[in-house]
């Protein structure tokens, strides 16, 4: 069933986000080439037909913020029941002992979990480069290629140690020179600028409390010169606001502008604690926001003002965040979580299931600077997910597309990335998942003992 130069008709889905393709879609190579109206046929002959009468068809979900390595420290005993800063301080010493094998296997676990939940594009924020882990991003790229998922990998960084007023221990930080040189190397070796890119690199100092002002400025300059995007955590907690006011004499958004980051090249993780004036400035600059509902609830950080940000002009996407503050990488589950959490803030009439899907597709794509993914339309990349409603949780449901979220789907039946099937019948294609899980369990145990 693999798609090469064949024309494939995903025929007559049970339901979809748009009735314009109620009769399905036609895919050739890695592109959607035709939308079929209900009871219509493709305009040209097709080579293969996938009967989707039992499936809900949606664009592939896009995860705009994650930390793959944190799958090794889910529900970690010393990090339980803590807010962000003490949570980080309990885990930094553990993460300082990560090995290349741990990066490889945790990346496999995170990407498989994402694919199985209907995700076709994933952004990861890796910022830990202790001795021996200098090529962590290269390892992630190798694993992503094997699994066939589209990735935006951000070259994170930490340069401000505890003894310099920062949060991370010195064993986890690098010099500005090391960070910038490796950033140039990764962009030169891996970044794909063209439409349909499978690998893109962004630059991502971890947060205001872990890097110097000089590095923030230099990173912004480098991103502009090499035409890549910028990413960081911002306004996640009140502690961060207090840190910025004490360290820099200004609030996080003021600091962002001060170091040259308030522009449409930037997307931010979390974006919770903004006032009205800051939201207006972020919107005017078209800064993207990756909303991470599960993490925000688990760490009791707060609620992202999604609709206010969108109305101001910010693209808003969704991210599962780290699997140590979620503690999973299930993208369809995250869409449901966003729906529920945001209804508490804005009400049911404004936060519809369509709005939640929009954040996870077109919204996340906009955060990543992509207009070739995130929707089912002619000329877009053939990234799709198909969900069946044959589990007990769906028994008695009405609207199939709404049921995917409201009844709590946890897995996709089929997932296609760039015209190739990566999940079939709810299973990874050509991947020994049991072996990867066994390795992950063993490595997580050894990391906990280190």
Residue 443 within any structural domain of the chain: no
- How many structural domains are present in the chain? 2
352 plus 415 within the same structural domain: no
Task: Tell me, yes or no, whether 2 lies in a domain.
Answer: no
Q: Are residues 52 and 67 in the same domain?
A: no
The alpha carbon of residue 281 and the mean position of all alpha carbons in its chain are separated, in whole angstroms, by: 24
| pLDDT given for residue 166 in this prediction | 66
Q: Does 435 fall in a domain?
A: no
Any long-range contacts for 51-55 (C-beta under 8 Å, 24+ apart)? 51/11, 51/12, 52/10, 52/11, 52/12, 52/13, 52/14, 52/24, 52/386, 53/11, 53/12, 53/13, 53/14, 54/14, 54/388, 54/389, 54/390, 55/13, 55/14, 55/386, 55/387, 55/388, 55/413, 55/414
What pLDDT is stored for residue 1 in this prediction? 40
Q: Which of 337, 367, 397 is the last residue of a domain?
A: 367
Q: Is the peptide bond before 327 cis (omega within 30 degrees of 0)?
A: yes
The answer to whether position 151 is within a domain reads yes
Are 122 and 80 contained in the same domain?
A: yes
Q: Looking at the structure, do residues 155 and 285 belong to the same domain, yes or no?
A: yes
* Nearest Cα residue to 106 out of 162, 134, 144: 144
Query: Are 401 and 354 in the same domain?
Result: no
User: Do 185 and 308 share a domain, yes or no?
Assistant: yes
Domain boundary residue, one of 315, 338, 367? 367
* Statement to judge: residues 49 and 172 lie in one domain: no
> What is the CATH number for 313?
3.20.20.140
37 shares a domain with 77: no
Which pLDDT score, from 0 to 100, does residue 242 have? 93
pLDDT per position as a tens digit, 24-80: 999 999 999 999 999 999 999 999 999 999 999 999 999 999 999 999 999 999 999
Same domain, yes or no, for 213 and 233?
A: yes
Tokens linked to 14: 């049970």
Domain check: are 395 and 423 in the same one?
Answer: yes
Residue 243 falls inside a structural domain: yes
Same domain, 263 and 144: yes
Q: Is residue 134 part of a domain?
A: yes
Q: What confidence tens digit (pLDDT) does each residue in 249-278 have?
A: 999 999 999 999 999 999 999 999 999 999
Domain ranges, residue 43: 7-59+383-428
User: 447 lies in a domain?
Assistant: no
Boundary (domain end) residue, out of 320, 336, 367: 367
Helix-helix angle 136-147:176-190, to 10 degrees: 30
CATH number of domain containing 28? 2.30.40.10
Q: Answer whether 173's CB lies under 8 Å from 158's CB.
A: yes
Tell me, yes or no, whether 348 and 420 share the same domain. no
Q: Is residue 307 part of a domain?
A: yes
Write down the pLDDT at residue 398: 97
Length of the chain: 450
pLDDT by position in tens, the chain (length 450): 444 579 999 999 999 999 999 999 999 999 999 999 999 999 999 999 999 999 999 999 999 999 999 999 999 999 999 999 899 989 989 999 999 999 999 999 999 999 999 999 999 999 999 889 999 999 999 999 999 999 999 999 998 776 666 667 777 789 999 999 999 999 999 999 999 999 999 999 998 878 889 999 999 999 999 999 999 999 999 999 998 999 899 999 999 999 999 999 999 999 999 999 999 999 999 999 999 999 999 999 999 999 999 999 999 999 999 988 999 999 999 999 999 999 999 999 999 999 999 999 999 999 999 999 999 999 999 999 999 999 999 999 999 999 999 999 999 999 999 999 999 999 999 999 999 999 999 999 999 998
How far is Cα 306 from Cα 338, in angstroms, rounded to an integer?
A: 10
Q: How far apart are CA 212 and CA 40, in angstroms?
A: 59
CB 438 within 8 A of CB 88: no
């Amino acid at each position: 069933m693999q798609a090469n130069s064949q024309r494939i008709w995903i025929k007559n889905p049970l339901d979809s986000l748009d009735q314009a393709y109620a009769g399905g879609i036609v895919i050739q190579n890695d592109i959607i080439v035709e939308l079929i109206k209900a009871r219509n046929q493709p305009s040209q002959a097709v080579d293969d037909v996938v009967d989707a009468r039992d499936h809900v068809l949606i664009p592939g979900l896009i995860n705009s913020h994650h930390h793959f390595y944190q799958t090794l420290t889910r529900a970690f005993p010393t990090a339980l029941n803590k807010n962000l800063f003490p949570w980080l301080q309990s885990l930094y010493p553990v993460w300082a002992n990560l090995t290349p094998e741990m990066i490889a296997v945790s990346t496999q676990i995170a990407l498989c979990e994402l694919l199985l939940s209907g995700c076709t594009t994933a952004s990861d924020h890796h910022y830990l480069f202790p001795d021996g882990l200098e090529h962590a991003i290269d390892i992630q790229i190798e694993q992503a290629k094997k699994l066939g998922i589209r990735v935006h990998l951000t070259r994170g960084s930490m340069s401000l140690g505890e003894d310099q007023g920062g949060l991370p221990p010195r064993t986890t930080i690098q010099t500005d020179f090391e960070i910038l040189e490796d950033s140039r190397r990764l962009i030169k070796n891996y970044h794909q600028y063209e439409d349909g890119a499978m690998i893109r690199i962004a630059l991502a100092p971890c947060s205001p409390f872990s890097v110097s002002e000089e590095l923030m400025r230099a990173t912004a300059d480098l991103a502009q010169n090499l035409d890549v995007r910028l990413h960081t955590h911002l306004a996640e907690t009140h502690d961060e606001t207090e840190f910025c006011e004490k360290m820099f004499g200004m609030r996080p958004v003021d600091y962002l502008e001060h170091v040259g980051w308030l522009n449409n090249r930037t997307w931010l993780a979390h974006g919770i604690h903004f006032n009205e004036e800051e939201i207006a400035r972020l919107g005017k600059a078209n800064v993207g926001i990756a909303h991470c509902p599960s993490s925000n609830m688990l760490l009791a950080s707060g609620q992202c003002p999604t609709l206010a940000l969108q109305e101001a002009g910010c693209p808003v996407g969704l991210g599962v965040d780290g699997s140590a503050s979620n503690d999973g990488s299930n993208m369809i589950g995250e869409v449901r979580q966003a729906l529920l959490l945001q209804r508490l803030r804005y009400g049911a009439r404004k936060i519809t299931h369509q709005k939640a899907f929009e954040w996870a597709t077109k919204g996340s794509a906009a955060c990543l600077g992509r207009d070739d993914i995130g929707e089912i339309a002619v000329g877009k990349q053939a990234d799709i997910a198909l969900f069946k409603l044959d589990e007990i949780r769906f028994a008695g449901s009405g609207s199939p597309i709404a049921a995917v979220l409201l009844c709590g789907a946890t897995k996709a039946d089929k997932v296609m990335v760039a015209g190739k099937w990566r999940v079939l019948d709810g299973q990874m294609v050509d991947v020994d998942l049991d072996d990867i899980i066994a390795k992950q369990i063993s490595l997580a145990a050894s990391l906990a003992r280190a």
